[in-house]
Structures are given as structure tokens and as C-alpha cells.
Amino acid sequence: MVSSNKQHQGRTALITGSTSGIGLGVARAFAAEGANVMLNGLGDADEIETIRASIESDFGVKALYSSANMLSPDEIAGMVAEAEEAFGMVDILVNNAGIQHVSPVDAFPVEKWDAIIAINLSSNFHTIRAALPKMKDKGWGRIINISSAHSLVASPFKSAYVAAKHGVAGLTKTVALEVAEQGVTVNAIAPGYVWTPLVERQIPDTMAARNMTEEEVKRDVLLLAQPTKEFVTIEQVAELALYLSGTGASAITGTTISMDGGWTAK
């Protein structure tokens, strides 16, 4: 049974890249608060259907899935239109899909650069462009961009990712100013290292780029930057996304909130 005191009862949350990692955790957190969700991301069709069905059965909400590729502006527009047709509008938009590639800049594959800029930055523009008109009409909306500590500081060998995430910080500020009087807040969450498949997958490349073992990469590269020496958890990021969507956060807009174990304090 769905209780009526959940904070997002009757709302719709669209979360890009929610078949894995942070996005999936955020989607489940919004569903737990009563929101219908539009899932999105890549992966095995059967596994995605299991994820979708478990959200419906665990939380008593509607969960749809869009296979829109964040490389495609048309597919992104189609995904937002599908959510609006099914649920009326997208009340909460979480731009989370992201990829990484680690390489010295002068050896950085051009197609990887283009894909990272498209998925990690331009897709945020395309979802916002599509979802914002109905938020403005309603006078309420929440846009949360999952950026990174790399939206504030850099690390070597991650030129495309760092450039894209700095771009997300700028987009966040700009859109926030444009809709500041219309009940829509726009913020970014900047996690440090969160233990997810994205981080796991970059370990082999970092081992190669820096000639290190896996343990050395974890200790001397990843958690070296993070004073707490702990990975951020998916649940912690999801809790901050819920907070930013709540009434208590209506004065928070245009900002990037760090959740990085002290990394960017240095």
C-alpha cells in the first residue's frame, strides 16, 4: 500500500543513466518517496526489466524505462515526451548519465572526447530544454545535475570528463538564473569517488596510465584525493538529491554542492 505522506507522491522523476550505480540509487530513493519514475540507461534488456519491475513492486509506483541514448538529441526529446505523455510532466529531472575515459590529452581518442562531452554535458542541455516548459507552466520543478568534484578541480588524464563537468557547473548556474522566479531550482551534486561500476571500470586504465597495481590506484589515486579515505556511498548521493527536491531546499538554486569527503577543501 502506498501511504499519502510520502514527499513526492504523485510526482514524476526522470533519471538519466539509472540502470546502474548512482542513477539507480537515486531512482529507487525517489520511488520510495512515492514518485513515479522514468528510468533510462544502457544494459541487458532482461536485467533492466527486472530493475524496472522491482521498483514498481517494492514501492507501489509506476516505473517506465526509456532506452534513449544520451548521444542522441532526438532520442532525449522522445524520452521526455514519453514521460510527459505517461505522467503529465517531469517534475524532477536528474541528469546523471555519464561515462569516463582516462588518457593523456595528446593521446585522447577524438571519438571518446566527443562522446564524453555529449553524454556528460550536452545531454543535460537536451533534457532541460525538453522538460523545462512544463515545469515553468506549473511553477514548480527540480533539476539536479550529478556533476563531480571534477566540476571544481582537475585531475590529470581526464581532460574530457573534467571539461564536461566544469561545463555542467556553468549550465547549472545559467539555467538557475533563468528560472529563479518560476519555482524551479537547478543544482548540481558534486560527489568525490563513489564506489560504482564507473569507478571500477576506470581502474585498469589508470593502472596502465600510471603503471600501478589495483590497490595502489585505490589508495594512491582515488582515495588519496579524499581526506576521509572513504568512498562516498550511492545512498548518500540519493539522500542529497531528495533533500534538494524537498520544500526545505527551495532557496537553494544555482549551486554545486560537494559531497567529496573533504577533497575540494584542499
Name the site residues for ligand NAD (rule: CB under 6 A): 17-23, 40-43, 69-71, 96-99, 119-120, 146, 148, 191, 193-194, 196-199
Please, which residue, 60 or 75, has the CB nearer to ligand NAD? 75
CB of 99 to ligand NAD, least distance (A): 5
161 annotated active-site: yes
Residue 40: enclosing H or E segment and its boundaries? strand 36-40
Q: Please, what is the minimum distance in Å from the beta carbon of residue 8 to ligand NAD?
A: 21
Residue with cell 529563479: 180
Min separation Cβ 3 and ligand NAD, Å? 29
Cβ–Cβ under 8 Å, residues 225 and 156: no
Candidates 238, 245, 58; CA nearest to 146 is: 238
For the beta carbon of residue 108, count every other beta carbon within 10 angstroms: 17
> How far apart, in Å, are the Cα atoms of 130 and each of 89, 95, 174, 178, 232?
10, 13, 16, 15, 31
Please name the amino acid found at residue 245: S
| Helix (H/G/I), strand (E/B), else coil: 14 | strand
Residue among 65, 161, 193, 243 flagged as catalytic: 161
CB-nearer residue toward ligand NAD: 155 or 182: 155
Which lies closer to ligand NAD via its Cβ, residue 175 or residue 232?
232
Which CB sits closer to ligand NAD, 152 or 176? 152
For residue 63, list its beta bridge partners: 37
Residue labelled with grid coordinates 554535458: 121
Maximal CA-CA distance, the chain: 56
Minimum CB separation from ligand NAD for residue 112, in Å? 12
Minimum distance between the CB of residue 9 and ligand NAD, rounded to whole angstroms? Answer: 26
Alpha-carbon distance of 9 to 85, in angstroms, equals 18
184: helix, coil or strand? strand
The residue among 42 and 177 lying less far from ligand NAD, judged by its C-beta, is: 42
Q: Compute and round to an integer the Cα radius of gyration of the chain.
A: 18
Nearer to ligand NAD, 12 or 100 (CB): 100
Q: For residue 95, what are the CA distances in angstroms to 57, 76, 107, 171?
A: 25, 11, 29, 12
CB of 90: closest distance to ligand NAD in angstroms?
Answer: 16
Mind telling me the catalytic residues?
A: 161
